[in-house]
Structure 1
Amino acid sequence: MIPYGKQQLDAEDLAAVQEVLQSNWLTQGPRVPAFEQAIVDYCQVPFAVAVNSATSALHLACLALGVGPGDRVWTSPNSFVASANCALYCGANVDFVDIELHTGNISVSALEEKLILAKRENALPKVVIPVHFAGQSCEMKQIAALAERYGFYVIEDASHAIGARYQHDVIGNCRYSDICVFSFHPVKIITSGEGGMATTHNPKLARKMQMLRSHGITSESSELTEPSHGVWYYQQQLLGFNYRLTDLQAALGLSQFAKLESFVNTRHQLAKVYDQAFASMPGVCPLTQLPDSYSSYHLYVVRLINIDKTQHRDCISFLRQHGIVGHLHYIPIYLQPYYQQLGFKAGYCPQAELYYQQAVTLPLFPGLTSQDQQLVINTLQSLLESI
């Protein structure tokens, strides 16, 4: 089977992990801060906090911003459930803003309309979480302007978007947000096996996330409520979690990070081949790439615009029957059974639901061969001709 995404590991990655295995540090050693510093330097941001998953990073970001019971958090329905679950973990209420069909990203006009109504009802969100879907940035300048006008925080869910750019700046620099979150899951641009990172300009937010990732514990003398009794002394000051990244994971992440630019360039080359093939294929509409955005191309998604729900299911099944893992990103979060129990119903975000009916994710990863990519193209063409 040709997967839709896959990690790309080499001898350098294996050697980096082996070096840690032969060292004295497997969990909290020097590789974790080195990985954080690499992200700090790359994103040109003062703070990066490494954790064991992007889900953990989103949770900590919400907690650092004071999200709690009674607060409202808005996000995109076109994402993995973690983008919304992170607010529920804090006891907050979650709501969804519809998307732009041609990009899959949160719609700024829909966000503004929802904010106008929420202000009238005294129900504004505390946090909005735009999701950089498939690796392309949301329109962050406009979202930041709305944040200033309506008084909410912004967490960028850039789980798909390390290596991407917006207005020539790297994603993660937090120019238009309070916190930005990356994922290093194996199907993402670079991997640490599992892992995540949160970047910010705010030292208080960074310090709170650092403490919360490690049980709420501190040994810093300036933070202790009484003088230290020795180098072994620590205090738990917050109810935190064990969300720490290990040195093993950080070593792999660092090794992978050195290849980030190469990986993204390869993804662009593969995307260009798809674009050229689908330009003359009726009914196939790749996501639009905006001029002020440079995608990391975590995913390559096409919309099959002349099919119904049954045909959509059959299309993905057809691809898989022919050795190609066609996939769907994503079922709108609020259509999941758990969110239906919270009161959400079909029809809530019409554009997200239309996207759900049409979207197919095709294989895209640095190890995808030209022969396999051509097989994907030919199989999709054969499929459409049979409908």
Structure 2
Amino acid sequence: MIDRAIPYGKQSIDQKDIDAVVNVLKSDFLTQGPAVSDFEKAFAKYIGAKFAIAVSNGTAALHLSALALGVSEGDKVITTPITFAASANCIRYAGGEVVFADIDPESYLIDLNEVKKLLSESPKGTFKGIIPVDFAGRAVNMESLREIADQYGCWIIEDACHAPGGWFTDSKGIKQFCGNGNFADLAIFSFHPVKHIASGEGGMITTNDEELYNKLLVLRTHGITKDANLLEENHGGWYYEMQQLGYNYRLSDIQAALGASQLRKADEGLQRRRKIAKRYNQAFKEVSQIKGQSGYVEGHAYHLFIIEVEDRLGLYNFLRKNGVFAQVHYIPVHLMPYYKQLGWKKGDMRFAENYYSQCLSLPMYPSLSDEEQEFVINCIFDFFA
């Protein structure tokens, strides 16, 4: 018997993480210091992108990405309904219009055939961009999506919040890591405590486009620059200019130090997540009441491990009574009251809605012990028995 609650996800903090934060607290800079730049460089190297811009959270990363790509009033952008609301909201922040494409019921990812259908049925130029989501940690085939996007003149923001270290294999047999910038114009990540890398709150934008990188640097800090090459005037070393309307979306050195420390053990955590996923997959292979599950997929980063059951509410309540706090990811965004007011309704996204009616995310985090996972598995067996 497990004598403590088992959440669906949580941070894993060790003494090295604590020491990293304490070192910053003892330093000259709590914010706007060297720790942020160090974290950006290390993260860009880990992902395989040329540039990385640290920001205050994943939502800020999405918002700034939309602004940097020029989203404006009335621009139509395609995304998935099975994601956190921020993936769609960033377009609304900039005045654009969100159009949802249904998911592939096997992968839970945005269905690229549905994306192509939406694009092909409208005059070229109707849609400005696409925001795919590496949902649960499974990589979207960005090579295939890039081909579609190029055909219709669309940019891509890859929402890789669930998938640092995740990858897919391209047509040449090469591993393409989520957010590496080879196919998406911009990619974004989150450092919320339940994610692979925790910094309390925090986010990152990655890109291989230097022009977009420079735009983001200015947008992140109130639209202000001190770059002498960009100033309209120059009154001296103190002088700066606010050249556009930007935001205070900076990450502090305290958060960056924690994020950098977490990054150093990211591969270790990823290996553990994949081991947990293998064990779940094996345990539930022959359980007829489980209609679908994340399974074991090469390159999956396993932010979440999901099963589908008909009596989702019954299983959810049973697990909670036994101290297992499984969760549901996600309520389809198009069925949120805000988006229903914009005309979306039940029945618009058949596969997403069916998935939502049955999905349950099981505990998945590196410090989940074998004993705890066995307890979760046995609870599920007990429920069905």
**TM-score, normalization by structure 1:** 0.95
- Residue 381 of structure 1: aligned partner: 381
**Amino acid of the structure 2 residue aligned with 1:234:** Y
Q: How far apart in 2 are the matches of 1:150 and 1:384? A: 48
Q: How far apart in 2 are the matches of 1:123 and 1:117? A: 11
Query: Percent of aligned pairs with the same residue?
Result: 44
Give 1:384 deviation, angstroms: 2.0
1:298 aligns with 2:300: no
Alignment of 1:166-315 (within 5 A): 166-167=168-169, 168-226=175-233, 228-284=234-290, 285-289=292-296, 294-304=299-309, 307=310, 311-315=311-315
Give 1:162 deviation, angstroms: 0.6
- Residue 42 of structure 2: aligned partner: 38
1:324 aligns with 2:324: yes
Q: How far apart in 2 are the matches of 1:44 and 1:231? A: 35
Residues 228-237 or 178-187, more deviating: 228-237
**Amino acid of the structure 2 residue aligned with 1:117:** E
Alignment of 1:54-73 (within 5 A): 54-73=58-77
1:276-332 per-residue CA deviation (whole Å, 9 max, x = no partner) reads 101121122212555xx501110011112xx1xxx3222212211110011100110
- Residue 341 of structure 2: aligned partner: 341
Task: Specify the SS of the correspondent of 1:329.
Answer: coil
Task: Specify the SS of the correspondent of 1:49.
Answer: strand
- Residue 130 of structure 1: aligned partner: 132
Q: Which of the numbers 3, 9, 15 marks the counterpart of 1:5?
A: 9
Q: Which of the numbers 143, 149, 167 marks the counterpart of 1:147?
A: 149
**TM-score, normalization by structure 2:** 0.95
1:246-268 per-residue CA deviation (whole Å, 9 max, x = no partner) reads 00000000000000100000001
* 8 Å contact from structure 1 (residues 103, 288) kept in 2: no
1:173-221 per-residue CA deviation (whole Å, 9 max, x = no partner) reads 1111100111111000111111110011111111111111100000000
Give 1:21 deviation, angstroms: 0.4
Q: Which runs of 5+ in 2 are unaligned?
A: 170-174
Residues 164-173 or 70-79, more deviating: 164-173
Q: How far apart in 2 are the matches of 1:138 and 1:289? A: 16
Q: How far apart in 2 are the matches of 1:182 and 1:289? A: 23
**Amino acid of the structure 1 residue aligned with 2:19:** A
1:96 aligns with 2:100: yes
1:351 aligns with 2:360: no
Q: How far apart in 2 are the matches of 1:25 and 1:281? A: 54
Q: How far apart in 1 are the matches of 2:279 and 2:47? A: 29
* 8 Å contact from structure 2 (residues 224, 242) kept in 1: yes
1:52 aligns with 2:59: no
* 8 Å contact from structure 1 (residues 49, 206) kept in 2: yes
Residues 334-343 or 258-267, more deviating: 334-343
Task: Specify the SS of the correspondent of 1:180.
Answer: strand
- Residue 106 of structure 1: aligned partner: 110
1:120-157 per-residue CA deviation (whole Å, 9 max, x = no partner) reads xx673211000000001112111111001011000000
Q: Which runs of 5+ in 1 are unaligned?
A: none
Give 1:230 deviation, angstroms: 1.9
* 8 Å contact from structure 2 (residues 160, 178) kept in 1: yes
**Amino acid of the structure 2 residue aligned with 1:185:** H
Give 1:109 deviation, angstroms: 1.1
**Amino acid of the structure 2 residue aligned with 1:295:** H
- Residue 172 of structure 2: aligned partner: none
The size of the alignment, in residue pairs, is 375
* 8 Å contact from structure 1 (residues 51, 197) kept in 2: yes
* 8 Å contact from structure 1 (residues 136, 289) kept in 2: no
* 8 Å contact from structure 1 (residues 103, 289) kept in 2: no
Q: How far apart in 1 are the matches of 2:153 and 2:243? A: 29
CA RMSD after TM alignment: 1.2
Residues 92-101 or 162-171, more deviating: 162-171
* 8 Å contact from structure 1 (residues 74, 127) kept in 2: yes
Q: How far apart in 2 are the matches of 1:224 and 1:147? A: 35
